[in-house]
Amino acid sequence: MFEISPPEWTAVLLSLRVGVVAILVATPFAIALAWALARYDFWGKSIVDATVHLPLVLPPVVTGYLLLLTFGKRGLVGGWLADHLGIVFAFRWTGAALACGVMSFPLLVRPIRLSIEAVDRRLEQAASTLGASPWQVFATVTLPLALPGILAGMVLGFAKAIGEFGATITFVSNIPGETQTISSAIYSLIQTPDGDAAALRLVIVSIVMSMAALVASEVFARRATRRLHGN
């Protein structure tokens, strides 16, 4: 019963790869955006903030369809990327990573923003009086103090990414070995006669991975508090 078959493994590993790539690529953008939202007041800030959170509330199928329109082979951005840089998203695992990155982006930005807001600006002032340039202040004070929050956001985003279904299947379909993640594999298995046992195995795997991610995220958050108090 708990023997995981090679095609199931393929789906698990693909989910992990998609999740890792999605989060690693999305994190620098999330940090930059979280920084801007935490530290600056600019025109259109609430619109930017709302747009970031949009994937959280939009039907995933809508996000997937918008991705298809934009990053599909004939999409505005997708066509250009394919012609000029040879990067193709449509029906590739990279497209799954893009979909997962977009869907988990709000979960990534929020804790990072909160942890940057929690960094004491007076420590940054102290750093600059000691000769640190603005960039050095960011790298040696702001970022390390916000790091546990960043990690918590990354883990949470990763958990979301490996479980993403709606946007991914809409954008890159459900191709075994290329775009079939755990979620879409479970979906296919449920629709196959005799697929129940295999579906259940994958369900258990996904519960275990999600739990592990949530626990890790909690641990990072607790570490953040300790770090800010300097114990």
Partner 1 sequence: MLHVEVAKQLGDFSVEVAFTSEGRVTGLFGASGAGKTSLVSMIAGLQRPDRGVISVDGDILDDATKSLHIAVHQRRIGYVFQDARLFPHLDVRRNLDYGRRMNRLTRDPVQETRLNDMLNIGHLLDRRPGQLSGGERQRVALGRALLARPRLLLLDEPLGSLDEDRKAEILPYLMRLRDEAGVPMVYVSHDPDELRQLASQVVMLKRGRIAAFGGPEILPA
Nearer to partner 1, 44 or 230 (CB): 230
Residue 118 binds partner 1 (CB under 8 A): no
Q: Are 213 and 158 contacting, i.e. CB atoms less than 8 angstroms apart? A: yes
- How far apart are alpha carbons 61 and 44 in whole angstroms? 27
Q: From the CB of 190, what's the least distance to partner 1, in Å?
A: 48
Nearer to partner 1, 59 or 144 (CB): 144
- How far apart are alpha carbons 146 and 162 in whole angstroms? 24
In Å, what is the CA distance from 58 to each residue of 52, 54, 192? 11, 6, 29
Q: From the CB of 25, what's the least distance to partner 1, in Å?
A: 27
Of the candidate residues 130, 204, 207, 212, the single one contacting partner 1 (CB under 8 A): 130
String of b and e for 65-79 (b: at least 16 CB within 10 Å)?
bbbbeebbeebeebe
64: helix, strand or coil: helix
Nearer to partner 1, 130 or 214 (CB): 130
Q: Are 89 and 22 contacting, i.e. CB atoms less than 8 angstroms apart? A: no
Residue 5 binds partner 1 (CB under 8 A): no
Site for partner 1 in 19-78 (CB under 8 A): none
Q: From the CB of 172, what's the least distance to partner 1, in Å?
A: 41
Q: From the CB of 111, what's the least distance to partner 1, in Å?
A: 18
- How far apart are alpha carbons 222 and 2 in whole angstroms? 34
Q: From the CB of 94, what's the least distance to partner 1, in Å?
A: 36
Q: What share of the chain is helix, strand, coil (3-state, %, to 5)?
A: 80, 0, 20
Tell me the number of residues near partner 1 by CB under 8 A: 24
Site for partner 1 in 144-163 (CB under 8 A): 144-145
Q: Is 195 exposed, middle or buried (0-12, 13-18, 19+ CB in 10 A)?
A: middle
Residue 126 binds partner 1 (CB under 8 A): yes
Residue 107 binds partner 1 (CB under 8 A): no
Q: From the CB of 33, what's the least distance to partner 1, in Å?
A: 23
The mark string for 212-231 relative to partner 1 (x by CB under 8 A, - otherwise) is ---------------xxxxx
Binding residues for partner 1, per CB under 8 A?
120, 122-123, 125-134, 136-137, 140-141, 144-145, 227-231
